[in-house]
Amino acid sequence: MKHKITLTLVTLSVINLVAQSNAQLLGSAGKFAVLAGSTVTSTGATVLNGDLGLWPGTAITGFGPGIVNGTYHIADAVAQQAQEDVTTAYNALVAEAYTQDLTGEDLGARTLFAGVYRFSSSAQLTGVLVLDARGDSNARFNFQIGSTLTSASNARVQMINGGNGCNLYWQVGSSATLGTGTALTGHILAMTSITMTTGATITDGSALARNGAVTLDANTITACPVPEPTSFAVISAGLLLISRRKRN
């Protein structure tokens, strides 16, 4: 029975590590749906499933009617640390060796596998981009974009074969603009600003602007889950107790 107890706890530890790996690169910024440097402005029925942060700016407008299903961090130490972690993550993404250079090509109507994809200047998404994880839930996709990221209306990113949007990163050298009705997945880390036009969404990701504004218009952003270590400790204790009771 001791072997069963050990196996249970080891299995739980593995689950813990996998769950935490999604937020590892972003550090404390991993729990934010939106983080900006100057301002956050929302129009209409925006819903943020995650924290909302701003540093060093202090101006946030449009909440409500916008809803934040998380915590506000406005020009506080938490937001400052998150911005520092975004900078660290941004620099790490820039430094990665790229797998393929897609400069001058549209991301739409493509199927890509895990890797690092480079655009020396701007990147455009029109239509559907399919990201195939090939059965690996930890497969990571990184897009290095030298200047701007722009999506057309109703553009979409589709993860298939076990892909996890929390392992998708859009490193943008200046600003990102998501067109009306765009359904994006993953984390946008923009040097300057992020603009989401009417009805655009981000699933399993975030809008993280280092220096400028995040501008929203009836958008939904759902951040990746960030497990609390204490939660796993409680679960571990509970499983250990159950195992002991079965042994007795």
Establish if 246 belongs to a structural domain.
no
Average pLDDT, integer, range 142-155: 98
pLDDT of residue 12: 35
pLDDT of residue 24: 76
CB proximity list for 142: less than 8 A, separation 6 or greater: 93, 96, 115, 116, 117, 168, 169, 171
Question: pLDDT tens across 173-210, in order?
Answer: 999 999 999 999 999 999 999 999 999 999 999 999 99
Establish if 217 belongs to a structural domain.
yes
For 64, half-sphere exposure in the C-beta direction (CA atoms, 13 angstrom radius) is 3
Cα dist from 52 to 31, 43, 68, 135, whole Å: 9, 15, 7, 33
Question: pLDDT tens across 86-120, in order?
Answer: 999 999 999 999 999 999 999 999 999 999 999 99
Establish if 4 belongs to a structural domain.
no
Establish if 242 belongs to a structural domain.
no
Q: Domains in the chain: how many in total? A: 1
Distance of alpha carbon 205 from alpha carbon 104, whole angstroms: 25
Establish if 12 belongs to a structural domain.
no
Q: What is the mean pLDDT of the chain?
A: 87
49: exposed, middle or buried (C-beta count within 10 Å: 0-12, 13-18, 19+)? Answer: middle
In percent, how much of the chain has pLDDT > 70? Answer: 82
Confidence of residue 242 (pLDDT cuts 50, 70, 90): very low
Q: What is the pTM of this model?
A: 0.84
Residue located via tokens 């550090």: 27
Establish if 109 belongs to a structural domain.
yes
Q: Give the domain extent around 91.
A: 27-226
Average pLDDT, integer, range 223-232: 64
Establish if 14 belongs to a structural domain.
no
pLDDT of residue 226: 75
Please indicate whether residue 9 or residue 165 has the higher confidence score (pLDDT). Answer: 165
